[in-house]
A and B are shown apart, each in its own frame.
Chain A
Amino acid sequence: MSALTVALAGNPNTGKSTIFNFLTGARQHIGNWPGVTVDKKMGQMTKGNKQINIIDLPGTYSLSAYSLEEKIVKDFLLEEKPDMVVNVVDASNIERNLYLTVQLLEMGIPTVVNLNMMDEAGEKGYNINLEALGKNLGVKVISSVATSKNGLNQLVDSLDPSLTRLAGAADSKLLAEHLKAIENIKKSENNSEIADEKVIEARYEFINKVLEKSLVINEAKESWSDKLDNLLTNRVLGIPIFLSIMYVMFQATFAWVGQPLSDILDGFIGGTLTDWVSGGMESLGTAGWLQSLVVDGIIGGVGGVLVFVPLIFTLFLLISFLDGTGYMARVAFIMDRAMRRIGLSGKAFLPMLIGFGCSVPAIMGARALDTERDRRIAVLIAPFMSCGARLPVYALFAALFFPGRESAVVLSLYILGIIIAIIMGLIFKSTYFKGDAEPFLMELPPYRIPTLKTVLLQTWEKGKGFLVKAGTIIFSMSVLIWFLSSYNFSGPVDIADSLLATIGGVIAPLFTLHGFGTWQSGVAVLTGILAKEAVVATLGVIYGISELAEDAAQAATQLQGSIGATFTGLSAYAFMVFTLLYTPCMAALGTIKKELNSWKWALFAAGYTFLVAWIVSLLIYRVGLLLGLGG
């Protein structure tokens, strides 16, 4: 007997993922829908001796192909024809949720309605008569509280198409009438726009008739969600509260949890592991070049990226949690007005903010935007938010050239990044991406406490790409850079005669006018495209710091003599500005390619940011010289 295919369909924020995770456990995998970057989640479960394939469709409000997600769901239901659909409905928001249900019933696919979040419906004073609801909709209705697993076993029992009554069967007089009514509209109305409108009205009319017979609304308990909203979206307090939450989130990531864990990992990779591997290879009598390749190239390169994993997972964990509570929807609300000025909607604010941590999740976060236009603008300007990996560069140069004024100098760079992003947003808005930002229309979900399992799974889904990248792109690039820095065509040589120095020398003339046209800077700029943290590492290797100093001040002393000779304060600042703005790292470019599904846009992003950086950095250096700051 062939496997049963069950699709989960429902609005966003209905607990569909929690149900999917319950049904499939660890037996799930995530792919992409053909041609688009919306996740396709599939999983398996076994019921008795039967295998059931479960597909978690993207959360949608309707099947009208208004958004990408809606089109995917509609196409899937029409073309793949699942054996049955489990329609997850938020019982506390039943009226609007049933709109999708009605559309499913119109399609005639065997459907079970799973009323979830019955606890919240109860608090809202909703008393739903399941039997009456099922009878009037013409389908089987079950209820659940997925977060505490209540009712989910009953759902498993219902995963059998023969138990669902076929929509359109004479079971429900109301449904039969509704189907007839929309058939009549389609026959009699030639203007498709008016017909659509009438069909929508008919659907809500049907829903109201069904709810009249099955829903009693008692007095609601006072909702703490509303009270919290009065505070969190307050006109005056909203933004300061939001900034405080962000501050705590970044503190947790960079000071309390993420960074300390990263430091421990760094100590292990750079110390214990390196010693152990080189010692092991030494005793086996491995050739020197191979030792250097493994230790300096692979462990140095891949390890240098792996140490960021705890940092990134901590940030993702906190973001997944905040996302699950419903707070992020409020953030979009309070930031909408400001974002609209640069041609984006409030929803685009979050990716920008995440960009201060790392551009990769920031670019991925742009998925939440509804239109292609908004996604593109957000993806193109997100890399100007100064990510964590650029900080070591500023720390090093500021300590070296601006002692005592480090914080002000570093802060000025962060602010410059924001200003450039705003300017580019304005330019895009008035040139290629004409038109208004997507209309802001978003459901405001009630506050909820997400389950640990959901948060952890989301964190893993978001973070695992980073691990994959470390094993693929970064691995191969590390080997390449190691090779270039150790050889030229005549064989193994000193770094100053290596191919890398030759390449750096080719790049260097680009920056003659900027005051940092040396092959060393050229190489640092090049390796910075591999990963921004490589800028400091490269300079360290080139200028001969024995071991890359963790502490900026310590590195500064070591570099004092050597870098001080090639940079002035002004050219150092110009170099920092260039590092801030230029081409995003490989990981970010790869993500841009994946998210916008186009090499053209990824190459454009790489090129235009380089140009912006080149111009801004040049202006700063030249204006500085005119002002007599060249000393």
Chain B
Amino acid sequence: MNRPLSSIKKGSVVYIQNIESCSQCKHHLEEMGFIPGTPVEVCRCCNKGPLVVAIRGGKIMLGQEMARHIMVK
């Protein structure tokens, strides 16, 4: 089942399914490597705050809002 990235526990590795977001943010996220099928590890999260994820060999900080629009499995 698809869930938003914001709901994933620290330490889990999940796979990106799709991004529901404004076209510009979506485009930006995709360019940063958030493409369907890409594995993402949640390194740091806290409720309502931003997250740190490891993706494609680098780390990225993501606001809670954005993470809510990234659907993962």
Give B57 Cβ to nearest chain A Cβ, in Å: 5
Query: Is A332 an interface position by the 8 A CB rule?
Result: yes
| The stretch of A134-142, A441-449, A607-615, A616-624 that contacts the partner chain | A441-449
A5 to B53: give the CA distance in the assembly, Å: 38
- Name the one of B24, B38, B48, B62 contacting A66, with C-beta atoms under 8 angstroms: B24
The yes or no answer to B29 lying at the interface (CB within 8 A) is: yes
A selection of 25 A-B contacts at a CB cut-off of 8 Å is: A66-B28, A66-B31, A93-B57, A95-B33, A96-B32, A96-B55, A96-B56, A124-B57, A193-B23, A197-B30, A200-B30, A200-B31, A201-B30, A229-B44, A235-B46, A235-B49, A337-B48, A440-B62, A440-B66, A441-B29, A441-B62, A442-B61, A443-B58, A444-B58, A444-B59
Question: Of A66, A92, A94, A201, which contacts B27 at CB under 8 A?
Answer: A66
Whole-angstrom distance between the alpha carbons of A64 and B46 in the complex? 32
B25, closest chain A residue (CB): A439
Q: Are A96 and B33 in contact (CB under 8 A)?
A: yes
**A345 CB–B CB distance under 8 Å:** yes
Q: Which residue of A lies closest to B57 (CB)?
A: A95
Q: Which A residues are CB-close (under 8 A) to B44?
A: 229, 233
A61 with B31: CB separation less than 8 A: yes
A329–B50 alpha-carbon span in the complex (Å): 12
Residues of A within 8 A of B30 (CB): 197, 200-201
A58 at the interface (CB under 8 A from B): no
Across the interface, do A93 and B58 meet the contact criterion of CB distance under 8 Å? Answer: yes
The reply on B11 being an interface residue by CB < 8 A is no
Considering only residues 435-468 of chain A, those with a C-beta below 8 Å from chain B are 436, 439-444
Q: Indicate with 1 or 0, residue by residue over A216-241, a CB within 8 angstroms of chain B CB atoms.
A: 00000000001001000101000000
Q: Report the 7 A-B pairs with minimum CB-CB distance, sorted nearest first.
A: A440-B63, A444-B59, A93-B58, A95-B56, A337-B49, A336-B50, A62-B31
Question: How far, in angstroms, from A196 to B63 measured CA to CA in the complex?
Answer: 24
Closest to A201 in B: B35
A280 to B59, CA, bound (A): 63
Who on chain B is nearest to A208 by CB? B56
A177 to B62, CA, bound (A): 34
Task: Identify which of residues 16-30 in chain B touch chain A, using a CB-to-CB cut-off of 8 Å.
Answer: 23-25, 27-30
- A303 located at the interface, meaning its Cβ lies under 8 Å from any Cβ of chain B in the complex: no
What chain B residues lie within 8 Å of A333 (beta carbons)? 50, 52, 61
For B38, the chain A residues whose CB sits under 8 A away are 204
Q: Does A346 contact B (CB under 8 A)?
A: yes
CA distance A200 to B30 in the complex (A): 7
- Chain A residues with CB under 8 Å of B57's CB are 92-96, 124
Tell me the A187-201 residues at the B interface (CB within 8 Å).
Answer: 193, 196-197, 200-201
Contacts of A441 in B (CB 8 A): 25, 28-29, 32, 60-63, 66
Select B49's contact among A62, A99, A336, A443, beta carbons within 8 Å. A336
- Residues in B with CB closer than 8 Å to A233 are 44, 52
Flag if A439 contacts B63 (CB, 8 Å): yes
Q: Are A64 and B49 in contact (CB under 8 A)?
A: no
Identity of the chain B residue whose Cβ is nearest the Cβ of A330 in the assembled complex = B61
Instruction: Say yes or no: B61 contacts A443, CB within 8 Å.
Output: yes
Q: Please measure, in the bound complex, the distance between the C-alpha atom of A95 and the C-alpha atom of B48, giving whole angstroms.
A: 30
Specify which chain A residues have a CB less than 8 angstroms from the CB of B36 in the assembled complex: 201
Tell me how far the C-beta of B29 lies from the nearest C-beta in chain A, rounded to whole angstroms: 7
- Give CA–CA (A597, B24) in the complex, Å: 25
Contact with B along A420-442 (1 / 0, CB 8 A): 00000000000000001001111
Residues of A contacting B29 with CB < 8 Å?
A: 441
Nearest-neighbour CB distance to chain A for B50, whole angstroms, equals: 5
- By the criterion CB–CB under 8 Å, are A329 and B27 in contact? no
A443 to B34, CA, bound (A): 13
Interchain nearest-CB distance for A209 vs B (Å): 14
Query: A residues 340-371 with Cβ under 8 Å of B?
Result: 340, 345-346
A237 to B36, CA, bound (A): 35
10 additional contacts (CB under 8 A) given A440-B65, A444-B58: A92-B57, A99-B31, A201-B30, A229-B44, A332-B61, A336-B50, A346-B50, A440-B62, A441-B25, A442-B61
A2 CA to B32 CA, complexed, in Å: 38
Q: Shortest Cβ distance from B7 into chain A, in angstroms?
A: 17
Contacts of B59 in A (CB 8 A): 443-444
Query: A193–B25 Cα gap in the complex (Å)?
Result: 12
CB distance from A116 to the nearest CB of B (A): 15
Given the interface contacts A233-B44, A337-B50, does A444 sit within 8 Å of B60 by beta carbon? yes
Could you tell me if A336 and B63 are in contact, using CB atoms closer than 8 angstroms?
A: yes
Residue of B nearest to A436 (CB): B65
- The answer to whether B49 and A204 have CB atoms under 8 Å apart is no
Of B27, B28, B59, B63, chain A has the most CB atoms within 10 Å of the CB of B63
Which of A229, A436, A440: most chain B Cβ within 10 A? A440
Across-interface contacts of B52 in A (CB, < 8 A): 229, 233, 333, 444
B-chain residues with CB within 8 Å of residue A346 when the two chains form the complex: 50
Give the distance in Å from the alpha carbon of A346 to the alpha carbon of B31 in the complex.
22
A146 and B25 alpha carbons, distance in the complex (Å): 33
Q: Give Cα distance in the complex from A201 to B37, angstroms.
A: 10
> In whole Å, how far is A380's beta carbon from the nearest beta carbon of chain B?
22
Closest to A225 in B: B59
Docked Cα-Cα span, A441 to B32, in Å, equals 10
